[in-house]
Amino acid sequence: MYALTDQIRRSSRSIGAQIAEAWAKRRYERHFVNKLSDADGELQETQHWIGIAFDCGYWERPTATTLRNQCEEIGRLLGGMIEKSDQFCVTDTKSLRELPVDYVTAPASDNSIDFI
């Protein structure tokens, strides 16, 4: 039982640590995605150990189902961050990023002054 508890504790804690590392590396999109993928791997491992704990009778079905559902939600969030990684990554950490704006100008009228 201790080994199983230790594995679940280690893999579940590693998910948050990997996300923190991803955030620190968001200047480089590949590194960001790589760390999020590592977090997803730890999440998959955690789900595996939850299944093993249930199969061994350590948890009742409602507990295992709740934990599994929470893991699936975290997985969806990680997937969304990976899918839209460009929105999380910054190229210059010393300036603000703003969305581009379309500017509309009125056509020149016949009364306009030509500048040389």
Is residue 31 one of the residues assigned to a domain? yes
What pLDDT digit, counting tens, does each position of 53-90 carry?
999 999 999 999 999 999 999 999 999 999 999 999 98
Is residue 69 one of the residues assigned to a domain? yes
Is residue 48 one of the residues assigned to a domain? yes
3-state secondary structure 47-61: HHHHHHHHHCCCCCH
Is residue 110 one of the residues assigned to a domain? no
Is residue 100 one of the residues assigned to a domain? no
Residue 101's pLDDT is what? 75
- Nearest of 114, 100, 101, 7 to residue 52 by alpha carbon: 7
What pLDDT digit, counting tens, does each position of 30-57 carry?
999 999 999 999 999 999 999 999 999 9
Is residue 66 one of the residues assigned to a domain? yes
Count of structural domains within the chain? 1
Residue 3's pLDDT is what? 87
Q: Determine the structural domain holding residue 68 and report its residue range.
A: 2-88
Which CATH number goes with the domain that contains 33?
A: 1.20.1440.60
